[in-house]
Amino acid sequence: MIAVLSADLLSSSNYPKDLMEEVISTLNREFEQVKKVSDRDTGFKIFRGDSFQGIVYDPAEALKTALKLKTSINRLHLKERESNKAFKREADLRLAIGIGGYDFIRNSIMESNGEAFQFSGRTLDEMKKENRKLKLKTSNAEINEEFDTSFFLFDTLADKWSTASAEVIYYLLYGYKEMEIANELDISQSAVNQRKKAAGWDAIEVLLSRYQKVISEHFSNGK
């Protein structure tokens, strides 16, 4: 069993050139981070200029990987690049997680196929009609139903993020402590804590924990 992430940038045709270049560079850096924690080629690659797809071989880690990619983009802004002020988000992703088997994985992910690829790609297409930003599709209807609800709530929460909120969540997903984030951003620990609470980190942690537990029980070790 694998997880396949399929995503596209929202309203990318409206991005200024500088923002689009920043988004592409950021995604490529994040893809390298994903590769570092896998002993197999994850195949993450941008195509059509505003879409990407890749493999997470441990399905239980797929949500955290998805949120790292999302927050890496949500935190970008072109205003006062050295400033740590909160700005309205300028870039965002629509992202589908498909979990299942696979028939074959080629050197080019665009030539790979199987259940996980089909779940992910088809779900992303469906999302364009539903105004959703994060969805999961597996062969288990009960799991799909549970996370359809919780991911919808997550969308509602994340839509309220500023760039500053997304940035704090990004570092938390990578395991940084509050003081480490404060040092990284050159702000106070209390400011980090405030942004953390405003972004709903406690609820996100519960969602990540629940996802990892459910997916590990049903889809790890070839289940």
pLDDT in tens, 178-206: 999 999 999 999 999 999 999 999 999 99
Question: Confidence class of residue 167 from pLDDT cuts 50, 70 and 90?
Answer: very high
CATH classification code of 2-219: 3.30.70.270
Confidence of residue 128 (pLDDT cuts 50, 70, 90): confident
| pLDDT for res 24 | 95
pTM: 0.91
Res. 123: pLDDT tops 50: yes
pLDDT in tens, 80-113: 655 566 678 889 999 999 999 876 455 555 555 6
Percent of the chain with pLDDT over 90: 73
Per-residue confidence band for 49, with pLDDT thresholds at 50, 70 and 90: confident
CA distance 165 to 119: 31
Backbone angles phi, psi at 99, to 5 degrees: -120, 130
Q: Which among 34, 31, 53 is positioned nearest to 109, based on CA atoms?
A: 53
Beta-carbon contacts of 150 under 8 Å, excluding residues fewer than 6 positions away, are 207, 210
Domain boundaries, the chain: 2-219
Q: Find the largest Cα–Cα distance for the chain.
A: 50
* 212, 173 contact by CB (below 8 A): no
* Average pLDDT across the chain, whole number: 89
Provide the pairing of β-strand 45-47 with 51-56: antiparallel
Tokens 């988004």 belong to residue: 23
Q: Which two tokens stand for residue 219?
A: 């889809």
